[in-house]
Structures are given as structure tokens and as C-alpha cells.
Structure 1
Amino acid sequence: MYIVTIATIIALELLIATFAFILRVIPLKNYHKNIAKVQIALLGIASLLGAFVCIYIMTTSNPSMFVESRWNVELAGTFFFLYFIFFAGSVYRYFSEKNIRNNKEKIFELKATEYKIIKYTDLMLGNYAFMPNVKSYCEFEGGRILFTQNMPTKEKDCAFTCIRIKKGIYECISYELLSGEKEGNSFEVIKRILFFVAAIEACLFVIYISQLSIVDINIVGRLAGGIGLILFGAATLGLLRGARGILSMLLRLLSYVLILTGIINLFM
């Protein structure tokens, strides 16, 4: 039981670390050249651990050890599928962006009046209804700059370092205020706190699944459920920061409800 618990915790922590790299909570040198490689390495290890857990549960000579837990082949397979989907997506990203990574960087120095930031929430991915997602970009005379990571909180005089995706379309790698000042980093601090709490939540969640007798499992279950709801609500609020539209308002309301429910769950 302990080997399954430890292997799953490590795999989930690797998954969380992957997103920490993607969102630049953990710094990465030469981000656009190395991020896909980091994703493949971390998620590859997580997938191997997930496969190991599946095989271990299927072939163990002492299946009675899982009777009092919530572990079964289907649940272990779900975890493995989760890791592998992200791993496959990372491999696809590596090869699909191979040509883009070799593009030269280009710097656009734009005054606040020369571009407009657009951030909105919709349900489309390409031409298909998918799930709520936030699109962020700015339009200027030379085309459109896509923001996949950091972006100004509002239109300011900035120098945007970008790579060209196709004619008139660029992806922002980083930006600096032309005034030389630094934007407030309170949101970055909040992101770090959220990832730290997510790492703790992963441990609690797996311990609850394993029903380990060394802890009060009822308390662990309550903590895991409450923290999970708070995390999901807080992460959604962060994603929607600055987004406009009715759908954004509804999702913010849902986020506040989730956070409140999580807090109540912690103390009830």
C-alpha cells in the first residue's frame, strides 16, 4: 500500500511541477526552447509511475491489502490516463512548435495608445464548443500579439519581446515597461501560494484514497475536499482576472461559491 501511495504522490507532484514551469511559477532559462523538453521529462516519469501502480495493483500477490482502501485497477488506470494524455500533448507540442522555436525574437515598443488588450471568456476551441477558456491578446498596427503567460494588467508603454507564429501573429515571450518600473507582483505571490497548497492537497488526496491507518482519515478527507474546492475556485478567479463578458461574471460567481463551500467544508 505504501509503495502505491508514494508512487502516486510523486507522480502528482511532478504533474503540479509541470504546470508550475508552464505558468513560470518556477523560473526556466530559455523558456520557449526548453519548456516542451521539461514537460516531456516530468510527465514521462509521471506516466511510468502511473503504469507501475496499475501493474502493481493488477499483479500483486496480496490483493487483500487494497480491500480497505479505495484503490482498484480502474482508479489506477484513470491516473495513468491523466498523466499519459498530458505527456502525449507535450510530445505533440514539442514537434508542432519545432519550427517556431527557431524563429528569431522581435521586439515591439508600443505606447499605451498604440495597442488594445482584449481578454474574454468563451466556450470555443477553434470551431468547436469545448469548455470555458480565456483568450488574451492585444491588437496593434502590425498585427496581433498573443499572451500565453504574463501580460500587462492594462495598456501601458511596453516593450514586448515576441516570436513570430505566422504573418501578423506573434506570441509574447516577455515584456518590460518602458518607464523602467516594475508592475506589482502580488498576483505572482498568490500563484506561488496556490501551487504550494496544491502540492499539499495532492498528498492529502492520495492518503485519503489509500485510507492509511496512520492518520485520522475523516480529517484528511475533510481537508482534501475543502482545500480542493478552494483551490479550484481561486485558480478560476486568477484565470479570469481582467476578462470581460457575461460568461466571465457567471464563472466568477461560481468560483466564489466554490471557495465559500470549501471553507465551510473545512470547519463542518
Structure 2
Amino acid sequence: MSLYPEVLECRIGLADVPLGDAAGHEGLGGIGIPVLRPSSEGKGGNEAEREEGTVRHRPAISRRLGYAASIVALGLATACTDVTIPGETSLSTSELLFLPLEAQAPAPPATSFYVANTRTVVRRVLHPDAFNSLYVEIRFPAGALEALNGTPLGPTDSVLVTVEPTAGAFGLTLRPSGLDFASGGAPTVTFSFAAYGDFSVADGSATYASRLEYAEALALWEDAGVERWDRVSGSGFTGSDAVSGRLSVPGTYRVAAPR
């Protein structure tokens, strides 16, 4: 559900996939064992290349001004002392208010595609509705891939990755787990809740006076295991019915705010 008037645009399928790379257009749902091997040049590729992790060797509201002002004032008051910015923390599952999808939201599908070091790769996961509404966009910059299962990747290598949306909520799991990103090459994800965000979860909250206040507190949280979640540094509400942040490692991430 959008918190603002929304102009809906029809989109068909997955967008911004680089042309000329047939593998990049494949919607693969299977999950395999990450392997490292050269591709078959001049052919469509073999079955092993369709396994997840395969490496192919080829030639709407801004954050309130009051918050910013409070940080500035705090910095002036404490001079040379360290300042801890609220929200950069780790919380338990019970301490978070996760943003769910509306009950009638069509479930976005899992998808697999190749990420290449030679270029920027952008993939959009859409709701299968009449408008192909955006669920999440994930963007890998050129040179994003550093290693797979400890094996260094070169400037012309590519890896098959899988994005699996979280059922009934805003979140995803990114695989393969053994993929390392280069310094400054972490992918950026942007979740859009313009069409199907269920903000009724904040109704009656003792923390948030309104749904809008809850939306402003949303960020990305990484599953740290044992019912713990780490807030993704720098992630947050973009002001346009979306939450964005960088994924430092593959894994499971959810959109949430402190309860």
C-alpha cells in the first residue's frame, strides 16, 4: 500500500538485463552446487553451467530534518567524544516489526541470472499482477565479484546467482553463500512497497504514532542466526515508497523497524 498518490506504470517481465547474453535472460529456479569451470564457447552452455554459482570465463518521504538537527546538536555538545547513531544495532526477532505483504499480493517468483564482472547487471523481480508491480530491484556494479568458495574471480568472469523473495513479506535470500564481493562492489537492493505494503502492522503500536512514522523507521536487516538480526548500515527509507541498502554478503535480509 502506497503512502502517497501513485502513478502505476505497466512493466512486462524482468527489466534491464544486458542484451547479447542469453544466459542472463534465463529465469532459473533450481538451486545447485557452486562450481568453477570454463564455459563452452560457441555453444549454448552445458547443464553444469545452469547450476547456481557456476562461473563462466568469457573474453516518497525524506528522513525528518529534526533527526538530522538532533545529530548535529549532539555532535556539538559532545565535541570530541564518540557518537552512536541510533539504529545501527542488532536486535532479536521479537524486537522487530517486519513489513508484510498485503494478503492479496501476488507472490513474486524466485529468479536466477548471471552476474558478470564486465558490466553492471540489474534485475527486477516483479509481482505477477496486471501492472507487473515492482517487488525488488537488485543492482550489481561492474567488477562486483571477487571470489567464489575461495577461488578468485577474474575481470571477465560471471557467476549464476539466485534471488528468492521472502514469502508473505518484504525480504530476500541471495545465493550462492560462498560468493564474495569486491571492495566497493556490494550489490544494492531496493524494495518497493508502493503496491502491496501492509502498514496495518503498525496500527496500535506504542512506538509509532502513525503508519508514516513506521515507514520512516524501516531499514534492511540481515539474518545473523539464532533469532538475531543485524541492521544493514546505511540502509533505510528512500522517501519514494521504498527501502534501499547494500548487501555486504549473500544471505537472508528483511525489511523491518524496531518494535
TM-score, length basis structure 1 = 0.21
TM-score, length basis structure 2 = 0.22
- RCO greater where, 1 or 2, for CA within 8 Å and sep 6 or more? 2
Higher-Rg structure is 1
